[in-house]
Chain A
Amino acid sequence: MNLLFGLSPFLAVGVGALLLMLAEAFGKPNVAPGVETTDAGAGRAGELALGAAVILVIGAVLSVAVWVAGPESLPELTQVAPHLVIDKFTLFFSFTLCVGGALAALLAGGYLPEHGIDRSEFFPLLLLSTVGAMALSAAGDLLTLFVALETMSLGVYSLIGLRRGSPRAAEAALKYFLLGSFAAAIMLFGLALLYGATGHTDLAGIGAAVRSIGSPGSTVSAGKILISLVLVLVGLAFKVSAVPFHQWTPDAYEGAPTPAATYMAVAVKSAAFAVLLRVLLVGFGDERLASWGAGWPPALAVLAVLSMTVANLVAGRQESVKRMLAYSSIAHAGYALVGVVAAMRSPEAVSAVAFYLLAYTVSTAGAFGALILCGSRGAEAVSYEDLAGVGKRHPAAALAFSLFLFSLAGLPPTAGFFGKLYVFRTAIDSGLYTLAILGLVNSVIGAYYYLRVMVYLYMREPAPGAPRAVTMRSGFVATALVAAAIFVLLLGMAPGFTLDMASGAALTAR
């Protein structure tokens, strides 16, 4: 019984996904009389979105419940270890992933019908992909890691391609797919080498084997370990979209339906960071590899600096707000990587990254949601010009947009402020002064393009004669925005409770 309780977040979302699949396939299509359809899911985005959101909220609540009960008090959970490691780290991330998935589902409930994308497969796919993401955050074994990564990614590839008949969407999906499976193959090569070098597939066993290098009688080859480390890092850097493995990001976000882009930005990135932390700290946690002189910290520091700087410089030059948000998500990957580098010295850095990703999830989902609200059928809000004057036409959407942009820029009193504060503070505590200062400078540069959106929202009028984007009304999108706004303000004004939860997560990651 305890085992079932411990696994309940995963079971709820997994079984829920299968049930939603059946509900989609066996329901009655909701189409205008006289219209022939062979698709049982036609016209039912609303109810399925609600179902998906409810299932994911149940998953989030169960994650909290298991967290409160304490996974360490459930000895039965060792039966599924190391394939699934259910600890506070996993539960914190599965909470974040469920929240991000639920927000994306709600956004899709409003967005898909509005833009005539009658693809109800979106919701079962979203849930199945979330199961993969949750399993990824729990993966303590290379096999689970790979299976979970593919489960998550295959769902996302399909989500991007759901806009039928659009060459742009099809090309974005195919490009992301080809680069994604290329990165997955590179990573798989790394995983195979890791198994070959150590004889273990569980991360704990690999960690022990790596520590034994240099001691008498050890047959583990340091060269193979280093090569596999590089290959695994390349694969995961692609998933978190760190520069220089980011090229797919703007194209994929632009071509994808906005809720799918939201899901990619929040859930895929968070899950990839979770597995990155676990692989680095448990598998490559050896002092010689996790040091400033050698191993992964300097490599990740380079990725962090490149991601922050390049993304911020390019984001300011974008004309499309969706592309700007894509580059913003790359920059945020850079900030979070600063925390990952700091994790080599301080366990608190892990909780700082976990908190940062929760704050980033609600802020980004909110920003994409507000962007959805600014457009309507046939005239999706894409460019800055489309947003001109929205402050007058739809004050609520503009206000929500501003709040989420404040949070992304890292201004108080929002979630993003505390997220950045904790990440940079752990970096300073670990003696990474240069990295922390570069992060701060970049946050200031980043504020420029977030504020530019606000300038257009409130201080510009649409050019006379220009086609203006008509704002849309949707209960689903509004619900998602209210929920995200509550999170952003709650984490921004009373972060203590969530931070306590996150710091519980840190202790068990190592």
Chain B
Amino acid sequence: MQSWIPVLVYLAIASSVGVVMLGAARVLRVRARHVPPTRAATYECGEEPAGKAWIRFHPRYYLVALVFVLFDVETVFLAPWALATRALGGYAVVEMVVFVAVLLLGWVYAWRKGALRWQ
């Protein structure tokens, strides 16, 4: 049980930060008598928001995201390899070249099949 005390202290501090900040904002805020509609609006980089926040995205976003995620996650193999290359020697380099080559092949395929085209 002893080893849990730091975790509990950490949790207590972390949650108190949020509580203190929100509480301070509530205490210190200046109440406006009249709220103009522009101030109550959603802030979107200075642009006037158009439409609702819950809209249906075009499926093309998903396609691009899927292709991205697929290639992105291959770094789980690259990172440990980078740490161990020196110990493993030339053979590991050749293997990784083959791996990346196959991956590139997949990318070329996605490109040729029009998965990256935005239309």
> What is the bound-complex CA distance between A304 and B114, given in angstroms?
47
Q: Please, which residue of chain A has its CB at the minimum distance from the CB of B119?
A: A38
Partner pick for B105 among A21, A38, A40, CB 8 A cutoff: A21
- Residue contact B113 to A40, C-beta cutoff 8 Å: yes
Roughly how many angstroms separate A40 CA and B113 CA in the complex, as a whole number? 7
Instruction: Report the nearest B residue to A19, measured CB to CB.
Output: B105
Which residue of chain A lies nearest to B113 when distances are taken between CB atoms in the complex? Answer: A25
Which residues in window 1-24 of A have CB below 8 A to B? 18, 21-22
Interface of B, helix, strand, loop or mixed by DSSP = helix
- Smallest Cβ-Cβ distance to B111: which chain A residue: A25
CA distance A26 to B114 in the complex (A): 12
Is residue B100 contacting chain A, with contact meaning CB distance below 8 A? no
Q: Are A22 and B117 in contact (CB under 8 A)?
A: no
Docked complex Cα distance between A25 and B115 (Å): 12
Partner of B117, one of A38, A40, A121: A38
Cross-chain contact A39 with B109 (CB below 8 angstroms): no
Chain A proximity mask over B98-119: 1 for CB below 8 Å, otherwise 0? 0000100100110011100100
Q: Which residues of A contact B117 (CB under 8 A)?
A: 38
0/1 interface trace, chain A 19-62, chain B, CB 8 Å (1 if under): 00110011000000000001111000000000000000000000
Q: Which residue of B has the minimal Cβ distance to A25?
A: B112
CA distance A259 to B105 in the complex (A): 26
Is there an interface contact between A18 and B105, defined as CB atoms closer than 8 Å?
yes
CA distance in complex: A121, B106 (Å): 13
Write out, one digit per residue, whether chain A residues 323-359 have a CB within 8 A of any chain B CB (1) or not (0).
0000000000000000000000000000000000000
Give the complex CA separation of A26 and B108 in angstroms.
Answer: 10
When C-beta atoms are compared, the residue in chain B nearest to A120 turns out to be: B113
B114 contacts which of A18, A38, A121 (Cβ < 8 Å)?
A38
Q: Are B102 and A25 in contact (CB under 8 A)?
A: no
B105 with A39: CB separation less than 8 A: no
Complex alpha-carbon distance, A39 and B109, angstroms: 11
Residues of chain B within 8 A (CB-CB) of A38 are 113-114, 117
Q: Please, which residues of chain A bring their CB within 8 A of the CB of B109?
A: 21-22, 25
In the complex, what residues of B have CB within 8 A of residue A25's CB?
108-109, 112-113
A39: B residues at CB distance < 8 A: 113-114
Docked pose: A121 CA to B113 CA in angstroms: 10
Contact check, A22 vs B113: say whether CB atoms are below 8 A apart: no
In the assembled complex, which residues on chain A have CB atoms less than 8 Å from the CB atom of B112?
Answer: 25-26, 40
In the complex, chain B residues whose CB is within 8 Å of the CB of A21: 105, 109
Chain A residues near B108 (CB-CB < 8 A): 22, 25
Specify which chain B residues have a CB less than 8 angstroms from the CB of A41 in the assembled complex: 113
Alpha-carbon distance between A26 and B111 when the two chains are bound, in angstroms: 11
Residue on B nearest A121 in the bound complex, by CB:
B113
B102, A18: Cβ atoms closer than 8 Å: yes
Q: Name 11 extra pairs, CB < 8 A, besides A38-B114, A38-B117, A121-B113.
A: A18-B102, A18-B105, A21-B105, A22-B105, A22-B109, A25-B108, A25-B113, A39-B114, A40-B112, A40-B113, A41-B113
Can you identify 5 A-B contacts, CB atoms within 8 angstroms? A18-B102, A22-B105, A26-B112, A38-B117, A121-B113
Chain A interfacial positions (CB closer than 8 Å to B): 18, 21-22, 25-26, 38-41, 121
